Amino acid sequence: MTRIDKRFAALRDKGTKAFVSFVMAGDPDYETSLAVMRGLPAAGVDVIEMGMPFTDPMADGPAIQKAGQRALDAGHTMDRTFDMVRAFREGDDETPIVLMGYYNPIYSRGVERFLAEATAAGIDGLIIVDLPPEEDDELCLPAQAAGIDFIRLATPTTDDRRLPRVLQNTSGFVYYVSITGITGSATANAASVGPEVARIKAGTSLPICVGFGIRTPEAARDIASVADGAVVGSAIVEKIAAGEPVDAILAFVRGLADATHAG
């Protein structure tokens, strides 16, 4: 079992849902980003989703685009991302870490090298938004062979004919994108998300976590009531962008996590 599998099994045993938080690696700088990351588990985060800064983040809204640019402007690189993960793992060997981003930086680095470095650093999963199932040989299957889960996105436009292909080689959990559009562009609605989660569950035994459009504890609780977990990114990234102290950011995260677990 991967760390992701173990975490979801533990949550099921406790009868609670997963809270997944997104932060951009290196935003606004290496030291602050690492301080936030180190504080996330104590703030109730079950899975850390870490963005890999990239110059053309086509699925992301303004908040996360700007976070990636701040990190790049501060000199953040893939090497520094792995440095962060290794530093985090010195004090925490249990919390799952998922890298989210785009294929170009991985392709440029070389898949074999990237996977070797990710495994050695302590990465547990990948969400690569611009690699469809038809390209599973590129990264999905090699990642799983290396022991890294490949987490696929399902969306409101993933119809019943497409869904089995999306689920075929997915592992860890399924990430359901609750809205059509980019991150931070609309609000998730439990009434519309619930039937979609049920439809996906009919095709897989994997947990279903819902992201995009969750900004408040109330929204996180509502989404967790119909899914296996909630993912929050833009709302946290905006706190970082505003220059709020690390303690204040983590307190905000704690409110989201508590509400999700109550769901």
Series of mean pLDDT values for 10-residue runs along the chain (263 residues): 97 98 98 98 98 90 94 97 98 98 97 98 97 96 98 95 96 90 59 93 97 93 96 96 98 98 92
What is the Rg, in whole angstroms, of the alpha carbon atoms belonging to the chain? Answer: 17
Tokens of 86: 């290794």
CA distance 204 to 195: 15
List the catalytic residue out of 46, 60, 136, 222: 60
Q: Is there a catalytic annotation at residue 49?
A: yes
pLDDT of residue 190: 78
70, containing H or E segment: helix 62-73
Q: Is there a catalytic annotation at residue 60?
A: yes
pLDDT of residue 124: 98
pLDDT of residue 169: 97
pLDDT of residue 180: 61
pLDDT of residue 61: 85
49, containing H or E segment: strand 47-51
CA distance 16 to 34: 27
Which ranges constitute the DSSP H helices of the chain? 3-14, 30-39, 62-73, 78-89, 103-109, 111-121, 140-145, 163-167, 190-201, 217-224, 234-241, 246-262
Q: Are 179 and 157 in contact (CB under 8 A)?
A: no
Residue 206 is given by DSSP the state S
List the catalytic residue out of 5, 27, 31, 49: 49
Q: Is 259 exposed, middle or buried (0-12, 13-18, 19+ CB in 10 A)?
A: buried
b/e map 114-146, b = 16+ CB within 10 Å: bbebbeebbbbbbbbbebeeeebebbbebbbee
pLDDT of residue 58: 84
Domains of the chain listed by start with CATH number: 3-262 (3.20.20.70)
Residue 94 is given by DSSP the state S
pLDDT of residue 179: 73
The model carries a pTM of: 0.95
